[in-house]
Chain A
Amino acid sequence: MISPKLVEVGRHLNIEILTNAELLSLEGEPGNFKASVHQEPRFVDLAKCTSCGECAKVCPISLPDEYNEGLNDRKAAFKQYPQAIPGAFGISKRSTAPCKATCPAHVSIQGYIALINDGREKEALELFKEAHPFPGICGRVCHHPCEQICTRGDLDEPLAIRELHRYLADWEQQQDEPYIPEIKEKRDEKVAIVGSGPAGLTTAYYLALAGYQVTIFEKLDEPGGMMRVGIPEYRLPRNILATEIGVIEKMGVEIKTGVTFGTDITLDSLKKDGYSAVFMGIGLHGGRKLGVENEDAEGVLQGVDFLRDVAMGKEVEIGEDVLVVGGGNVAIDVALSAKRKGAKNVTLICLEKREEMPAWEHEIEEALEGEIQIVNSFGPKSFFIDKSSKVSGIEFKTCTAVFDEDGRFSPQYDDDACQPFFGDTVIVSIGQSTVLDGIKEAGIETTPPGGIKADPVTLQTSVDWVFAGGDAFYGPKSVVDAVACGKEAAESIHRFINGLDLAEGREKEWEFEKPDISMEAKKARTQVRCLDPEARECNFLEVSFGYNEDEAKTEADRCLRCGICSECYQCVKACLAEAIDHTQQPEDKEITVGSVILSAGTELYDPAELAQFYHYGENPNVMTSLEFERILSASGPTMGHLVRPSDEKEPKKIAWLQCVGSRDTNRCGNGYCSSVCCMYAIKDAMIAKEHSAEELDAAIFYMDIRTFGKDYEKYYERARDKEGVRFVKARVHSIYDDPESRDLILRFADEQGNMVDEAFDMVVLSVGLQAGEGTKQMAERLGIETNHYNFVRTDPFTPVATSRPGVYTCGILQGPKDIPASVTEASAAASAAGAEVAEARDKDTVSFQLPEEIDISGQEPRVGVFVCNCGINIAGVVDVPAVQEYAGTLPGVVFTDNNLFTCSQDTQDKIKEKIQEENLNRVVVASCSPKTHAPMFMETLEACGLNKYLFEMANIRNQDSWVHVNNPDLATEKAKELVRMAVARARTLHPLHERVIPVNKRALILGGGIAGMNAALDLSKQGFESVIVEKEAELGGMARRLHHTIEGADIQAYLGDLVDKVQKDDKVQILTEAEVLGFEGFQGNFVTDIKVNGNGGDRSIDHGVIIVATGASEYRPKEFLYGEDERVVTQVELSERLEKDDAAGLDTVVMIQCVGSRNEENPNCSRICCQSAVKNALAIKKKNPDSQVFVLYRDMRTYGLLEDYYTEARNQGVIFIRFDRDNPPQVVSNGGGLAVKVKDHVLQRDVEIGTDLLALSAGVTASDTGELSNIMKLNRNPEGFFLEAHVKLRPVDMGSEGVFLCGTAHGPKLISETIAQAKGAASRAVTFLAKDEIQLSAIKAQVNVDNCVKCLTCVRSCPFDVPSFNVEKGEIEIDEALCHGCGVCAGVCPRQAIQLRFYEDDQITCKIDALLAGGF
């Protein structure tokens, strides 16, 4: 239902939509505000997205679908619902996930984990390799800072992130071929890389990816740097290293080993060989010395040398007792390697305490498992040597502190506390250094500690074409740091070669946000299977086995999806329209506006806080009403199949509990009535009964049924009397959850006061509306007042104005209300806001300018057919080239094309170009739904001068590829047939012209009450004249008899002021004692004859629109002795009396509700009488606190915030007694006394109340407008209230164009509601009056008078009474301005004398013929 409105807003030239946005602040004054708006990114370009949905298909992240109240899942890439406007998809992203933000290489960790979880290893591996070339290497050796930050670690244990990408590399090993990233474009420039460690290899990888010619020069005989010669094989198997380096070679990188920089090559030689840039990644391949006595003795080895020799398979001689000096990872690798090389006892001695050791904990543990003895807090003093000068041990001194107060390395020793350690081999492993041979000679500056000097961001050295990175630049770090550095180096070199700024935009802050995990369940980390410690001895077999597929998925499933979107970028690949942009950032905008409308809505009450009572959240068969509506919806999670969640069986009994989160000051504090729940519960109960295969018992448990809206009472009666919905007046005392059946047992007191237990299959909670914390905060930010329930505060006489001038509100942000009231208020707010910016109309707004139309008369059809691929939406099923080829064979077709997205801007331009080049005079687009896309294509035709009605669509997507996905051959055939039909029709089309009619810019307002006067004033503020026609001698209408609103506002003061303003307004002409005599014309051009008694004669008024505001009056009761006994009065009369006198003599007052309402004669509820009774009861109590006031009612209908007054009245001691319609009160007047007899439901007996006064809450009766409605052809309901065009969507429009409706002429309502509706009517009228002319649709019925036999069938058939017989001409006439274009007349005409343009008979039958005959 909302769809057309959405489309209209979406396509409107002067409406800009900012989604994901929040108004932060508002500076300035009415007419000139500066609004600060914060907008979160959507990550999808609205202009490019074609809404094809491919992104959602490939998205691996599922999350609860808010639109379906979390009853099913949606993807992180999603569209909220099919009709959503803007139509583009969006991506839910909290932030980049903590793991990715923390990873030095910024691998999309959550992404590959999600893809593993989804069984997409290939995509996961490719994703990893976008950010990092070594999944297998880092899968074994990474120190994984990502795991330290993993949110799962805050709950139980972090995810085994490293093992998961190792799993990917292992998976790759099992494939026939490794994945080689694709190189898009080769380039000629050459880059030299010195050193083949992880930094050099990564730089090479990314430069090769960018197309450069890369050569790596390696000093050693094998590539890999420290990965090859520093990390022992048992930790990093050589085949893994070889595979991942092999990939880089396959990408075209040449690796030259055994080449030493400084001797074999120099910068000069490289330059000479044509290299454009050099990267130095030479690592730390020298050991640091201790600098103590006898360090050069035989048997003392350097750790890095030892590891290198072991790794390169050289013979290394070590003894049985090995001492390792050092506490870092290298020292541990050395110790474990020594053990594997045959040492019996290995002792590792370091300066640091156990907890201070720089080695990673898991490595230390592995050392302990390998029986390495670790000795802490000792520093070497001197080496012992034996007689042959061979080392035999070390003297150690106690280290008292390693770091100074600032945490700097500054060891302190106690020289007196020494201890000797003995061994035949000592391996010193206390640090590494760069071997700078040839570097200084090349003129490259170095740093004092002995590294290469370079810019920390750009990595550029003192020689501009030389860049440096890796350990040689920043000191010893992990492989992943080298990868991160290599990526940056590649970027710098690319920029350098292309002459771009090296530094611009390089420093990125990686921020992240963690999700709330309070509701998450714990899941144990999947352990990795490892080689037993005994099996590791004397070999270099890999210790860890890694995960198998099941283990990997189990582990991947532990991911908490911190970022929501995992940044796996599958959507980017899937989106052929290139609409996805993960780099979008939040934006803060400042917008200049003249006025502001707040229509932010509210939220539903969340019954979770009363779970103990309702079992909501505990028993799935207890749902909120909105959840239940989604279950009923054909597009909902069960596709409209009514089943209860616990066992998916169809329920046989459902209970609705009313007033959950409303009218409840005790438990939730929401004292108001939510106004909408009674109606929606009745509606849902009826729909549920309709959806049930078997008879459904639908029971609504209520306090008062509040069906107070126009014609709502009739709906309630239908539900109760015809559809069998059961209404149980009871507040449920308690609910029991049957743990086995999951049924719910309701305990309540029935009308006789007996406790009853009744079981139901489901319980629906009719939850109310509430203004949340967000509303309050927004109000505070903008400086507007809220009421005690946090709804935006307005006053009775300014119902859409907030406390801040120029800021207006509408809908439930202001208080609970239904859709008609919200839509009415929306128009009212538009009127108020429009008045502030009326001057800008036609100046700051945009309109279309069209070129002159191409004359195609006399031309043969030249049809152009554009077949859309819709990305793969159509092309994935239908053979689009075949359809295009087929289209080319069809008669009249002179041009065909197929387009990736026919709706994209560039294709639109192409269509225009082809229309001109090929002289096309008909256009067929074979793509999607004309409902959404035809207007756009028709505009394209218009924009290049072709009449827009020369256009036809074939829907080969929604009606073909989408619904025949498993039948591609038949779908292709069907596409051809649809195109054949479309071409056949296109050939029959001819240009149509939309009639333009001028608009008379004056309004005629019928009725001079509050509604009419407000409408006139609002029109005047927007610059339009109006004429008020009032039948009485004075303005004011019914309001003249009213004094105060229930809030206490002074109606007479307001009315006086209003009359004064209207009388002084020179744009408003007032005719009193006037009535309508005659009427003719159509929208924009009406002529009304008015008979005026007071102002001198009759006149004829030209006007463009009509506003009907003829009002209503109080029912004059025929019952309860009214008119017979003067002590029986109506509420209006009572309030008049209370206004004049005090309440003296009124010791007892009885009021009877629903007098003249909700009965046979007038089945409607009069909406306002309950509040009138409460208002007067409170007034009596105020004036005479000792008085007794009884209100006899059927249902108290103090809806919305009026409920507060009802509560107040009960607190004041007003007694409310309920009676049944079938058993109304009896009134007796005998002698001096007046008494009322009524059956009290609580006491279950009749009571008689002697009273001083009986006030009848007489209903609202429509004014006598029978004659007026005849003259002006205005439709009324059986009770005489005028009918709106559409109850919900067009509540102030009438069925005929240009006629609007407001006030009690439409139905009973409060003054505040009347004012809102009057402003709304003015607003709708302005949409007409603001135009100089109206363009009518060309799709109208047309009579061929030569064929017509004047049988008058059309006159009788038209639902709008448009065709008429012109007696003078003797012809049937159909006024284009009045015709709605439905075609009913054309269908009934026995001689086909009437044709509906654009749908003429041959334009339909040609399609039938083309389909069935297969030809023309």
Chain B
Amino acid sequence: MRLEYPTNVKIILVPCSGKVDVLHLMRAIQKGADGVYVVGCLEGTCHYNEGNYRARERVEHVRTLMEEVGLEPERVRMYNLSSGEGPTFAAYAKEMTENIKELGPNPLKDKG
């Protein structure tokens, strides 16, 4: 569908959102990413039954940790969509980018 979205989004492939580790999300923030989000399948449609629920839990956990250390939890998010939803993917990429832009750069940048 070739829908445009911001170039600052780069995708890392995992077999299931349930594979995404708290450490991976934290690592991205620590290394200076302004934001990181996990895109999983729609809830209830996980090929592995419950991977996307677990991903959501972990994202929530990371958000709590972020808050604890004084970082904006909004830098980490979970989105759900199906593979047929290109327009939604692009919309989420834009939304995330805009939200992050409002927050400004990750204070950890160049310190990691």
Contact = CB atoms under 8 A, between A and B. Distances in A.
A634 B85 contact: yes
Interface string B50-69: 11001000100000000000
A1409 B10 CA distance: 13
A1382 B11 contact: no
Interface stretch (A294-302, A971-979, A1008-1016, A1029-1037): A971-979
A956 B60 CA distance: 31
A1364 interface: no
Contacts of A731: none
Given A963-B5, A1384-B19, A1359 B49 contact: yes
A1411 B20 CA distance: 17
A389 B35 CA distance: 108
B15 interface: yes
Interface in B1-58: 1-5, 7, 10-16, 18-24, 27-28, 31-33, 47-51, 54, 58
Contacts of A3: 83
B7 A1383 contact: no
Nearest to B6: A964
B27 A1408 contact: yes
B106 to A, nearest CB: 10
A10 interface: no
A1357 B88 contact: no
A1404 B24 contact: yes
Given A633-B84, A1412-B31, A1383 B12 contact: no
B86 interface: yes
Contacts of B105: none
A1188 B17 CA distance: 62
B88 A634 contact: yes
Nearest to A961: B2
Interface string A165-195: 0000000000000000000000000000000
Contacts of B49: 1359-1360
A955 B2 CA distance: 13
A967 interface: yes
B19 A1413 contact: no
A930 B12 CA distance: 12
A847 interface: no
Nearest to A974: B7
A1038 B13 CA distance: 50
A738 interface: no
B90 interface: yes
A1404 B15 contact: no
A955 B19 CA distance: 21
A1388 interface: yes
B84 A1399 contact: no
A1396 B13 CA distance: 13
Contacts of B112: 1412-1413
Contacts of B107: none
Interface string A961-990: 011111100110110011001000000000
A1045 interface: no
Contacts of B4: 963-966
Contacts of A1401: 21, 23-24
Contact residues on A (Cβ < 8 Å of other chain), bracket: 35 or more
A234 to B, nearest CB: 54
Contact of B51 (A1339, A1359, A1405): A1359
Contacts of B23: 1392, 1401, 1405
B46 to A, nearest CB: 8
A311 B112 CA distance: 88
A963 B2 contact: yes
A525 to B, nearest CB: 40
A655 B74 CA distance: 41
Indicate the member of A959, A1381, A1384 with the most B CB atoms within 10 Å: A1384
A1404 B28 CA distance: 11
Contact residues on B (Cβ < 8 Å of other chain), bracket: 35 or more
B15 A1382 contact: yes
A1067 to B, nearest CB: 36
Given A1399-B19, A1401-B21, A1404-B14, A1384 B51 contact: yes
Given A640-B87, A963-B2, A963-B3, A1359 B19 contact: no
A1380 interface: yes
A930 B87 CA distance: 20
Contact of B18 (A634, A962, A966, A1382): A1382
A1387 B10 contact: no
A1405 B83 CA distance: 25
Given A1384-B54, A1412-B33, A1339 B83 contact: no
Contacts of B3: 963
A1353 to B, nearest CB: 12
Interface in A1330-1362: 1339, 1357, 1359-1360
Contacts of A1357: 54
B49 to A, nearest CB: 4
A555 to B, nearest CB: 34
Contacts of B48: 1359-1360, 1380, 1382, 1384
B67 to A, nearest CB: 21
B110 to A, nearest CB: 10
Contacts of B90: 963
Contacts of B19: 1382-1384, 1386-1387, 1396, 1399
B18 A1411 contact: no
A635 interface: yes
A74 interface: no
B10 A978 contact: yes
B39 to A, nearest CB: 12
Nearest to A966: B4
A1041 B32 CA distance: 72
Nearest to A969: B7
A1381 B7 contact: no
A971 B10 CA distance: 11
Given A634-B88, A1359-B51, A1382-B51, A1387 B15 contact: no
B30 to A, nearest CB: 9
A973 B6 CA distance: 13
Given A634-B86, A1387-B20, A1401-B21, A981 B10 contact: yes
Contacts of B12: 981, 1404, 1407-1408
Contact of B84 (A635, A1382, A1392): A635
Contacts of A1380: 48
Contacts of B1: 82, 635
B31 A1386 contact: no
Interface in A1350-1403: 1357, 1359-1360, 1380-1384, 1386-1388, 1392, 1396, 1399, 1401
A639 interface: yes
Nearest to B83: A3
A955 B10 CA distance: 10
A1405 B31 CA distance: 10
B54 A971 contact: no
B23 to A, nearest CB: 7
B28 A1387 contact: no
Nearest to B13: A930
Interface in B70-103: 83-88, 90
Interface of B: 1-5, 7, 10-16, 18-24, 27-28, 31-33, 47-51, 54, 58, 83-88, 90, 112
21 contacts: A634-B87, A634-B88, A635-B1, A977-B10, A1339-B15, A1359-B50, A1380-B48, A1382-B16, A1383-B19, A1383-B51, A1384-B18, A1384-B19, A1384-B48, A1384-B51, A1396-B15, A1396-B19, A1401-B21, A1404-B14, A1404-B24, A1408-B27, A1413-B31
Ranked nearest first, the 9 interchain pairs of A and B with the lowest CB-CB distance are: A1383-B19, A1382-B48, A1412-B31, A1359-B49, A1384-B18, A970-B7, A962-B2, A1382-B16, A634-B85
Given A1359-B50, A1413-B31, 20 more contacts: A634-B88, A962-B2, A963-B4, A964-B7, A978-B10, A1360-B49, A1382-B19, A1383-B14, A1383-B16, A1384-B18, A1384-B50, A1384-B51, A1384-B54, A1392-B23, A1396-B15, A1401-B21, A1409-B27, A1412-B28, A1412-B33, A1412-B112
